[in-house]
Chain A
Amino acid sequence: MSNSNARTRSSCRRVFFLLLAAQALAQDARQIMVEVQNRARSNSQHYEGVLKVVDSKSKVSEKRWTYDRIGSAGQSKVILRFTAPAEVKGVAVLVINHPDRASDQWMWTPSLQRDRRIALQDRSTRFFGTDFSFEDLEERDVEQFDYKLLGEEKCGESVCYKLESRPRKTKVSQYSHSFLWVEKERMIILRIEGYQRDRLVRRIQYSDHQKVQNIWTPLLIEVEDVGRKSKTILRTDKLQYNAPMKEEMFTLQALRRES
């Protein structure tokens, strides 16, 4: 009887320590992501991007946009305006991120002089012929995911934390889970792989990191649609943080007015 009680106590202790360890790991993972988010924090961001879409037959098409963001960490608002090629010039996308739910997205078509709402159900579809999905344009706010630290891995010459993220109930996502590789030294994300159950859907690689206004920023982002075997390379130019921007610029009215 006493033996059996001792065994039970021992098992309980083991489970308790395991849970504690798991919580500690989760805590570590969250802290890592909070740190990543804090280091990249800025009040605003502006850049000019060049997108190269390489399809499965190696056919390349190019698009350009300007990117403006105000706010950060789940409260940001983004406006993307296509500047080239000529047939898409003026098309703009407004993304309003929320800390507790999926973002709101609208697209403005100047030739029709009207906006359209991008429905939540459509967020997994490709973002206008690129390999980004509409969801990939949303801010990955730490609070909308649960994280787990899976260990450390070598990433080229650096050492990375490998983390698993799973969307919380409030977050509507096409990905059941994602793996993230965070460089230990600079606390920057180098790679994200998005999965739908066991199937790898999309791989995003961040490279050519440069310190711009004291923020390590990837100037090259490569998105690969694994199923389609196509990729999109986004190169950012004229990057600027904390430039003065007005909230009024990030409204539907402004979207309509300024295109």
Chain B
Amino acid sequence: MILLRLLSWPYVRKHKLRTSLTIAGIALGVLVFVAMRTANNSVLYGFQQTVERIAGKAQLQISSGETGFPEEVLEKVQALPEVEVAVPVIEANLNTGRKGQGNLLVLAVDMTGDRSLRQYEFEEGEEAVVDDPLVFLAQPDSIIVTREFAAANGLTTNSKIRLETMDGPKQFTVRGIMKSGGLASAFGGNLAIMDIYAAQKVFGRGRTFDRIDLKLKPEISLEAGKAALQQALGPGFQIEPPSSRGKQFEAIAKLFGIAASLNSLFALLIGLFIIYNTFAVAVAQRRSEIGILRSLGASRNQIRGLFLSESVIMGLVGSLLGIVLGLLLAQAMSGYISTFLSEIYGVAQHTEEIAADPLVLVSAALIGIATSLAAAWIPANDAATADPVKAIHKGAWESFTDQESRLRLLGAVAFIIVAALCSFTGGKSGFRLYLGYLSVVLAAVMLTPAAVKCIVRLLRPLWRWLLPVEGALATDSLLQTPRRTSATVAAVMLSLSLVIGLGGVAAASYRSILDWMTAALNPDLFVGSSEQIADRSFRFPPEIGEQLQKLDFIDEVQMVRSARVLYKDTPVMMVSTSLESLRRRIRPKAVAGDLEKAYREAARGEGVILSDNLALQHGLKVGDIMEISSPSGVLKLPVLAITIDYSDQRGALLMERSLYIEKWKDPTVNLFRVYLKPGVAPEEAKRRILERFAQERKLFVMTNQQVRDYILRITDQWFGLTYMQIFVAVLVAVLGIVNSLTVSITDRRRELAVLQAVGGLRRQVRQAVWMEALGIGAVSLVLGLLLGAVILQYYLDAIREDLAGMRLDYYYPTRIALLLVPTMLITSFVSALWPAETAVRTSLVEALEYE
């Protein structure tokens, strides 16, 4: 405590900027961790809250994936003696088209019985109107909205609101306004209630329901009720408590959660290096003090404890700052993530508030402190084990002893051997993959001082050629302080390698998606019900397809119905269409099986074709039998072929449309793939289709190029995180280089002053510092780009085998690498501006008196 007050506190006060940078390093890691976790949790929590508020008193919900089921199922359920109340539900997401209003979640129910399950509380004075279900039911334009939505849109009872329907835009009449709270607060208050039979028409659902919500008789246990229902309905139905919908959503968005976790880890790793760097610098700067303390009898433990205590305090301050900033960032991010997930997965959810999980916050603080402690451990240990005489001697501290260098090399070799062993023994997944990855990273860190030495030596002639005196001074400074230089270089190298790795994944994904789009997404036009392709709220009757087919400029129309179904409790995208037509039109890349034969057999309903990622995630091979639950029972279909297909992140299975209609009793269509006759311009065809249908149908026509752009835009958003990482990498570089140079200049104050005293120009000193910074930048770039090339392969293996099942070809992200070269050099240069000015503006007398 005394040492902290006498030594650490004055040091902190004297080096406010460096202390701030250290705290910023910890804060940055914690901030990203808290922000990503909290934003992700908030989206899941928002979804769960909406589910719970909408569920009301429902104990169980019956569904059949996203496909819905025929109305008759309701009568079956209502007739069961275990069931007290069972009510049908349709849920749909409507774009209000009003600025800032976002989407409106429409909950369609049967008002005659729904009040047994859900509490509808209306604004005073309006009850009589809404309470007359006859008026509500007799008028299909009836809608009930929440107080919040009404207030935001200036609506009162009997106001008209224009909404999109399958029959084009329609006016709806507000027949009631619900009080705030409870059900009305679901989906952030952007909720509307509609009659279920009106909704069937509005959303083109035919005579199907999405779900049945039910309450069991008081004497029936949940398990008994579930068993009775399952027995009555068969295995094609999922009977789960409402809370399980949250888990399904989590499963759908699993990949996003993994990406968020990886980002958090990335940030923390970077934070670790910043702290290590800062403490290494602090130990270097205070070596004289350490030497004196040790000479005066301070024990090794006291010295170690001093630095570790500092790291804990800084870790705590940085963590708290990171938590506060992280929560603020989460607030800003959650809305974006929410919209993004809606676009990717087509699942309606709304984030209302930040779900700050105390466990995440406490973990963040502990991780921040632990990271700080771990990062400070080596410098603190170095300080504690230093020889007092050597410590007092300036300069010796900055270099590695021969023994240290040997140990580092041996360590690096050992890690390379481990990585090689992992790789040669099939380490493409699981523990061996990650052990191999960790070994490569550790080997790179161990080799950094030696690599820095080699590269700086290679740079020296170039630097001298550019500026003889300044270049020599800069490279010599780097060579004389390998400990400090290699710490900074290692941090920036790791940061850059991660950017290359993730950039490589992004580049490989783009290439693969482009290849897939060229092979499979070749129709001239896509006719859907929304500008968001993933949105499946609206469905077309098949007659629209027949009407499209009759247009003289259209060659062929493929009717597509896609919906998520559960396969082994995992949501899987099922795509049904005419496979014979598809066989003639597309040429997907086959991974396994004879595609031509597979398409013919699948067209006869004799099996399914799987996407590669689905097959990998479930360990399915050609010839395996898939058991797919449908409302008509379990379908046992063989896997006929496996293709590259990026229709859905969690995998897709392709099925013949007629088989789907037969088993799911659902002839509706989500999307029409339209092939035009030769010579017909897509834009002209689009105009003519809109002219023909726009007045009577809600219809969006997109050209092939627009769909490709849409998919690439979504992919861009997905990989938007990569750009954030580039930003973090640049920030790390700035922090690292500023720190390193500041110490370098402080250490060389006397040397620089002597240089000026004997006639050296300020310009020369300034340029020497710039060159030193550019040297760090250049070395880090070379090492980062090389390490990135290696770890990219690990990332691709992890994505393929463990995370998403996506088969991505190795593709070095040359564009990102080229972008990083000027970015890092400019960053290094900019980072050096302030330290360089400090170097030249210090009083000569004061500097010469240093030490």
Question: Which residues of A are at the interface with B, using a C-beta cutoff of 8 A?
Answer: 55, 59, 61, 63, 82, 87-88, 90-91, 107, 109-112, 114, 116-122, 125-126, 128-129, 134
Contacts and interface: CB of A to CB of B under 8 A. Distances in A.
Contacts of B116: 121-122, 125
Interface residues of B, number: 25
B198 A125 contact: no
Interface in B123-169: 128, 131-135, 137-140
Contacts of B140: 109, 111-112
A61 B128 contact: yes
A97 B113 CA distance: 20
Contacts of B74: 119
B131 to A, nearest CB: 6
Contacts of B516: none
B86 interface: yes
B135 A129 contact: yes
A118 B75 CA distance: 10
B134 A129 contact: yes
A91 B137 CA distance: 9
A122 B112 contact: yes
B110 interface: yes
B85 interface: yes
Contact of A109 (B78, B84, B137): B137
A119 B78 contact: yes
B197 A88 contact: no
B201 interface: yes
B170 to A, nearest CB: 12
A116 B114 CA distance: 14
B393 interface: no
B84 A116 contact: no
Contact of A55 (B110, B115, B128, B137): B128
Contacts of B197: 109, 112, 114, 116
A126 to B, nearest CB: 8
Given A61-B128, A121-B78, A109 B112 contact: no
Nearest to A116: B197
B201 A63 contact: no
Contacts of B86: 119, 121
Given A109-B197, A116-B197, 7 more contacts: A88-B134, A107-B137, A112-B198, A118-B112, A128-B134, A129-B132, A129-B133
A61 B112 contact: no
Contacts of B110: 116
A121 B85 contact: yes
A114 B207 CA distance: 10
A25 B560 CA distance: 70
The 7 lowest CB-CB distance pairs between A and B, nearest first, are A128-B134, A129-B132, A122-B113, A88-B138, A91-B138, A119-B78, A122-B112
A82 B128 contact: no
Contacts of A111: 138-140
B113 A119 contact: yes
11 contacts: A63-B134, A87-B138, A88-B135, A91-B138, A111-B140, A119-B112, A120-B78, A121-B113, A121-B116, A128-B137, A129-B132
Q: Is the interface of B mostly helix, strand, loop or mixed?
A: helix
A61 B201 contact: no
A43 to B, nearest CB: 29
Interface string B58-90: 000000000000000011001000011110000
Contacts of A114: 197
A129 B128 CA distance: 8
A65 B61 CA distance: 37
B84 A87 contact: no
Contacts of B84: 121
Contacts of A125: 112-113, 115-116
Nearest to A82: B134
A114 B137 CA distance: 11
A88 B116 CA distance: 24
A87 B158 CA distance: 13
Contacts of A129: 131-135
B171 to A, nearest CB: 14
B120 to A, nearest CB: 13
Contacts of A82: 134, 138
Contacts of B83: 121
Nearest to B77: A119
Contact of B75 (A88, A107, A117, A128): A117
A117 B84 CA distance: 17
A134 B134 CA distance: 13
A121 B140 CA distance: 24
Contacts of B112: 107, 116, 118-119, 122, 125, 134
Nearest to A105: B112
Contact of A112 (B78, B133, B134, B201): B201
Interface in B168-207: 197-198, 201
Contacts of B137: 91, 107, 109, 128
A122 B135 CA distance: 18
Nearest to B115: A125
A55 B74 CA distance: 33
A81 to B, nearest CB: 12
B113 A128 contact: no
Contacts of A120: 78
B77 to A, nearest CB: 10
A128 B132 contact: yes
A90 B116 CA distance: 27
- Most chain B CB neighbours (cut-off 10 Å) among A61, A63, A82, A121: A121
A118 B197 CA distance: 13
A90 B138 CA distance: 9
A258 B188 CA distance: 44
A111 B112 CA distance: 17
Contacts of B135: 87-88, 129
Nearest to A128: B134
Nearest to A89: B138
- Most chain A CB neighbours (cut-off 10 Å) among B113, B115, B131: B113
A87 B140 CA distance: 11
A118 B111 CA distance: 11
- Most chain B CB neighbours (cut-off 10 Å) among A55, A63, A112, A118: A112
Contacts of A112: 140, 197-198, 201
Interface in B601-646: none
A129 B136 CA distance: 10
A17 to B, nearest CB: 39
- Most chain B CB neighbours (cut-off 10 Å) among A61, A63, A88: A88
A91 B134 contact: yes
B306 to A, nearest CB: 74
B618 to A, nearest CB: 39
A128 B85 contact: no
Given A122-B113, A125-B112, A125-B115, A109 B133 contact: no
Contacts of B134: 63, 82, 88, 91, 128-129
Contacts of A109: 137-138, 140, 197
Contacts of B85: 121
